[in-house]
Chain A
Amino acid sequence: MKGSRLRAALTPYLLILPGGLWLAIFFVVPMIVMLSLSLQSGNIVDGFAFTWNWRNYLDGIANHHDQMIRSIGYGLAATVITIVVGFPVAYWIAFRGGRRKNMYLLLLLMPFLVSFVLRTISWQFFLADDGVLLGPLKRIGLLPEDFHILATGTAVVLGLAYNFLPFMVLPIYVALERIDPRILEAAADLYANRVQTFLRVVLPLSLPGVFAGVLMTFVPACSDYVNASILGGASNTMIGNVIQNQYLVTQDYPVAAALSFTLMAVLLIGIFAYARALGSEEVLEVTAR
């Protein structure tokens, strides 16, 4: 009897052991290694040594603060666009989708069965200077010959918004779907008009979804470099491009690691500031639960 109780107590630990170890070794430990690497000095030829080299952070920020600020700006712009574009869609599907809700969700997700890189390249192709869209418009004289969309910040932001839209729509949809229709009826019975109902009932109840959506859109958008390198030009590089280049091309690992940590810190501070601004540990709890 005692043995079986012990076994019952151990079962959940045995169940999480393999996956937990995998996450510990390949997610948690690498973070610690990267933290250590960011404080090392040396070069790829002579090797690196741990020296509490805080200069990596100062150098990284001094040399790349333009890209850092641009990344945050692009990430914010893309996130705002996904909210503006995605909220009405989530609202319509949740409240008016009827029996076709699943079909609409499927339609929203379907394009994402095509590889992220391939979708972005397809946009590059579509928006090319003499491509499918701009070519004919230029030929009939609607646009000047030197008009271009590619290699601009607009192209990068639109690419980001496109690629991360479902991460915004789905959580908002889930939050709206959970709203009990009786609450809306109660609001109407209490003489709230539709605008008031939306602003004072629907919107507050959708905030946890918006928060989750922002988390899942802003973080990947800020740290992306695929859109910037395919749709952007030399003046649109983001911090991701710098980190990628430092790791894989110049192999200046300590500065690259320091930049990665700086980016992570900026994102975490941004998220917590946003959570506080929404006035809620509650919101964090809802998403984390």
Chain B
Amino acid sequence: MNTLERAAAGPRKNAPRRRRPGRRGAFFRGRLLHIWTWLVIAWLFLPIAVMILFGFNDTRGRYNQTWQGFTLRWYGELFAISDLTVALVNSLLIALLTMLIAGVLGTLIGLALGRYRFRGSGLMKLVMFAAISCAEIIMGASLLSMFVTLAVPLGFWTIVISHVMFSVSFVAVTVRARVMVVDRSIEEAARDLGASSWETFRLVTFPMIFPGVLAGSLLAFALSIDDFVITNFVSGGTVTFPLWIYGATRVGIPPQVNVMGTLIFAVGVLIAVLNAFGGRRGGT
């Protein structure tokens, strides 16, 4: 199991409680670390808070730099900038396609690696490890090298292809982690009770590995919608949400960007919280 899988598998259950530190020094050190943890969390949230706050700023035009007063106007005029809206729609479509394609391909790889021992599995794992740890700029540059050499027109589909490429390994790793903890005897029981292999997969195996498939697919969606570096190389004339924002840094970021960022953040938080909550209920 590698680190990603372990992170996906969550903390170990039933870990024995640690002894409470009895001495004063240890108590203060625990306190200090606690405060430190919260300071780091505050540091992480600082730019997010600024982003959310300035989505409510009653600013004139695109120069959204100083606080002018509270307004909800930008939520009403969210889609007033048509090319920004196009970019957001592109990003969502690409992320959705990536989620579906990488979700299926990654699940199949995860099943193969988690369930079967076969010649070549080491090579597959090596390629996936390389794809996960490879610098994004190298992947972007090499993809562009190939597309240019073969005169492939750049645009929407080259972005989808690239996104599936870099996210499929993450899905596979997540699904494999789930496959390895599933109890195989349940499948054997299904076979003993006369289920065909397809029925066993559809009615027993897939529901059991579904949390892994879902987590992997959501990860693919998140990786895709956030990607800037690789997309920048292979996008041609197509503009995605991160590309649009990056292009707008020189002329000023309109408050609509803050609002869209806030809404994406809110949806993400909602899914994450529901997932954590649902996971806890499922676990007990």
Q: Which of A86, A118, A162 contacts B51 (CB 8 A)?
A: A118
Closest chain A CB from B155 CB (angstroms): 15
Does A178 make an interface contact (CB < 8 A)?
yes
**Which residue of chain A has its CB nearest to the CB of B271?**
A113
Interface contact A15-B50, CB-CB below 8 Å:
no
User: Residue on A with the closest CB to B18?
Assistant: A181
Confirm or deny: A256 has a beta carbon within 8 angstroms of a beta carbon on chain B.
Answer: yes
B260 to chain A, nearest CB (A): 9
**CB-nearest residue of chain A relative to B277?**
A102
Whether B2 lies near A289 (C-beta < 8 A) is yes
Chain A residues contacting B280 (CB-CB under 8 Å) are 102
A residues less than 8 Å from B164 (CB atoms): 22, 26
State how many angstroms separate the Cβ of A39 from the closest Cβ of chain B.
Answer: 12
Q: Determine which of A119, A126, A182, A267 lies in contact with B16 in the assembled complex, contact meaning CB atoms within 8 Å.
A: A182
Partner of A30, one of B2, B133, B146: B146
Query: 9 nearest interchain CB pairs?
Result: A113-B268, A122-B47, A19-B105, A30-B142, A223-B135, A15-B112, A12-B116, A92-B33, A26-B165
Nearest neighbor of B1 in chain A, beta-carbon distance: A289
Which of A26, A194, A288 touches B143 (beta carbons < 8 Å)?
Answer: A26
Q: Is the CB of A11 within 8 A of B116?
A: yes
Q: Are A116 and B226 within 8 A (Cβ)?
A: yes
A126 near B46: Cβ-Cβ < 8 Å: yes
Expressed in whole angstroms, the Cα–Cα distance for A224 and B249 within the complex equals 17
Partner-B contacts on A (CB < 8 A):
9, 11-13, 15-16, 18-20, 22-24, 26-31, 33-34, 37, 85-86, 88-89, 91-93, 95-96, 101-104, 106-119, 121-126, 128, 131-132, 135, 162, 165, 170-171, 173-175, 177-178, 181-182, 184-185, 194, 209, 212, 215-216, 219-220, 222-226, 230, 240, 243-244, 247-248, 253, 256-257, 260, 263-264, 267, 286-289
Most chain B beta carbons < 10 A, residue from A96, A112, A174, A194: A174
B144 within 8 A of A: yes
11 CB-based A-B contacts, threshold 8 Å: A12-B121, A15-B108, A22-B165, A23-B131, A26-B164, A88-B36, A89-B40, A96-B34, A110-B265, A119-B47, A126-B47
Shortest distance in angstroms between A159's beta carbon and chain B's nearest beta carbon?
A: 10
Interface string of B226-242 (1 = CB under 8 A from A): 10110011000000011
- Contact-residue bracket for chain B: 35 or more
B131 and A27: CB pair below 8 A?
A: yes
B interface residue numbers (CB < 8 A to A): 1-3, 6-7, 10-12, 15-19, 26, 30, 33-34, 36-37, 40-41, 43-48, 50-51, 54, 65-66, 104-106, 108-109, 111-113, 115-116, 118, 120-121, 124-131, 133-139, 141-146, 148-149, 161-162, 164-165, 168-169, 172, 222, 225-226, 228-229, 232-233, 241-242, 245-246, 249, 253, 257, 261, 264-265, 268-269, 272-273, 276, 280
On whether the beta carbons of B146 and A34 are closer than 8 Å, the reply is yes
Asked if A27 and B241 sit within 8 Å, CB to CB, the answer is: no
Given A89-B40, A223-B135, A257-B141: A109 touches B272 (CB 8 Å cut-off):
yes
Q: Are B141 and A260 in contact (CB under 8 A)?
A: yes
The interface residues of chain B lying within 8 Å CB-to-CB of A115 are 225-226, 228, 241-242, 245, 261, 264
Task: Give the residue among B40, B41, B264 with the most A Cβ atoms within 10 A.
Answer: B40
- Complex CA distance for A18 and B16, rounded to whole angstroms: 43
Given contacts A18-B108, A113-B265, contact A171 B127 (CB under 8 A): no
Most buried by A among B47, B66, B136: B47
Q: Is the CB of B161 within 8 A of A26?
A: yes
CA distance A263 to B135 in the complex (A): 9
CA distance A89 to B277 in the complex (A): 23
